[in-house]
Amino acid sequence: MSKLGKLHLIPTLLGETNPERVVPEEVLEVSRDLIHFIAENEKTARRYLKKAGTRIPLNDLVFYPLNKRTESTEIPQLIKPLLEGTDMGLISEAGLAGIADPGATVVELCHKKGIQVIPHTGASSIILALIASGFNGQQFTFHGYLPIDQSERRKAIRSMEAHQRDTGYTQIFMETPFRNEKLFEELIQVCHPQTLLCIARNITTENEMVRTLPVQNWKKNKPALHKQPCIFVIGNLR
């Protein structure tokens, strides 16, 4: 049986910042020598690898797209280099691969095929928002993206607020940047005035903001969120 390649889960940036600021040097070194990448967005991945100092000419890098349009029947083709003994990198649009992106489908298949999966240290906006919120970091739930339909989204907000109140579990969720302000307006309309809401915007960048306030205070201090990466957290201060 031929030797299998290794799948490296390559962390990327959360925003415009220097890679050395958030990614350990030994992780950058791994990414600099890889040629084959499974990427959610080729343009973003290529730009990151250039900033990270890849030793491979950019035109020689090979990308295999994995996004919401990728059919399940296409997944086996993505790991063909791994089966032939070549190491690959899995890159998310931002942050850690496999969280709030389709990377988990590739990782699952690699485990089934006996391919070694190597996670690498990097920044996660979800975890950074949680630890900076002051909320319960022992018990929490990440909901990912909320429903697009307004009635379903408001139902989800009420459900998270009630679950946090009843169980003490911190509730973490997100939205696409261009819909952040709409979500914020719904949060301050739907949630109880005393509910504590943390907004973590542009984490790890020069424009970073992490604030925890009661909803009634957010109504008086509306932040600029449009087209800026954000994580929203509902919880209780200890």
In this prediction, residue 100 carries a pLDDT of 86
Q: Tell me where in the chain the CATH 3.40.1010.10 domain(s) lie.
A: 7-119
Residue 82 pLDDT > 60, yes or no? Answer: yes
Helix (H) or strand (E) holding 157: helix 150-167
Q: Distance (Å, rounded) from C-alpha 67 to C-alpha 23? A: 24
pLDDT tens column, 176-188: 999 999 999 999 9
Residues 5-52 have pLDDT tens digits of: 999 999 999 998 899 999 999 999 999 999 999 998 899 999 999 999
- pLDDT for 76 beyond 80: yes
Report the pLDDT averaged over residues 135-154: 96
DSSP code, position 205: S
Residue 214 has pLDDT above 70, yes or no: yes
Report pLDDT for 238: 64
This prediction has a pTM of 0.91
What pLDDT score was predicted for residue 1? 53
What pLDDT is attached to residue 66?
93
- In the chain, the percentage of residues whose pLDDT exceeds 70 is 99
Regarding the domain delimited by 7-119, which CATH topology (the fold level of the hierarchy) does it fall under? Cobalt-precorrin-4 Transmethylase; domain 1 (3.40.1010)
| Assigned fold of 125-235 | 3.30.950
- Every domain of the chain with CATH number 3.30.950.10 lies at 125-235
Burial degree of 31 (CB within 10 A; 0-12, 13-18, 19+): buried
Residue 233 confidence (pLDDT): 99
